[in-house]
């Protein structure tokens, strides 16, 4: 029961200055087309501690990171967090503009939080491990 309560609280997150700028711009770009997604991403960005790019610990999820996480305490998934134009679920590339993508950004290994899927169901995720961010995923696109 304590794990569920822990997941409902929003943990402290860190986001690099570059990711914060790019993601803020992306969220503003899509605000008219998809206000719910924009609001969810902006909410995460607003609560994040913005740090210099080189100050983001290696175990923190940033754009391009490969993340292994558990969902609802059972399923384990490994995905790479990417900008929308690079998303491909078959390749394990999840867009930052998905509910789970927005939930993952800024989390560190061992952190947990809840997120709401597009169908309205609430889920809990816990970050197991974070791989290095790849520079190729740093090109924003609202497509």
Which whole number is the average pLDDT over 12-16?
A: 95
Q: Taking the chain, what is the end-to-end CA distance rounded to the nearest angstrom?
A: 40
**7-11, 40-44, 68-72: least confidently modelled range:** 7-11
Domain 2-133 sits in CATH at 3.10.50.30
pLDDT of residue 69 exceeding 80, the answer is yes
Whole-number average pLDDT of the chain:
88
Q: What is the pLDDT of residue 118?
A: 84
Q: What is the pLDDT of residue 73?
A: 74
Distance CA 126, CA 108 (A): 9
Using an 8 Å Cβ cutoff, are 55 and 122 in contact? no
Percent of the chain with pLDDT over 70: 86
Which whole number is the average pLDDT over 37-47?
A: 92
Which whole number is the average pLDDT over 54-71?
A: 95
Using an 8 Å Cβ cutoff, are 71 and 7 in contact? no
Q: What is the pLDDT of residue 128?
A: 96
Domain spans, the chain? 2-133
How far lies 70's CA from each of 8, 62, 65, 137, in Å?
Answer: 15, 18, 16, 23
Q: What is the pLDDT of residue 7?
A: 45
pLDDT tens string 89-125: 999 999 999 999 999 999 999 999 998 888 889 999 9
């Amino acid at each position: 029961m304590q794990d569920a309560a822990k997941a409902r609280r929003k943990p402290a997150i860190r986001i690099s200055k570059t990711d914060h700028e790019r993601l803020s711009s992306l969220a503003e770009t899509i605000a008219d087309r998809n206000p719910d997604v924009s609001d969810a991403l902006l909410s995460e960005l607003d609560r994040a501690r913005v740090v210099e790019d080189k100050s983001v610990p290696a175990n923190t999820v940033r754009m391009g990171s490969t993340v292994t996480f558990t969902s609802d305490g059972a399923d384990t998934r490994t995905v790479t967090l990417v900008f929308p134009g690079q998303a491909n679920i078959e390749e394990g590339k999840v867009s930052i503009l998905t509910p789970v993508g927005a939930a993952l950004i800024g989390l560190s290994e061992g952190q947990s939080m809840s997120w709401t899927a597009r169908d309205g169901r609430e889920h809990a995720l816990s970050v197991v491990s974070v791989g290095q961010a790849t520079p190729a995923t740093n090109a924003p696109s609202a497509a």
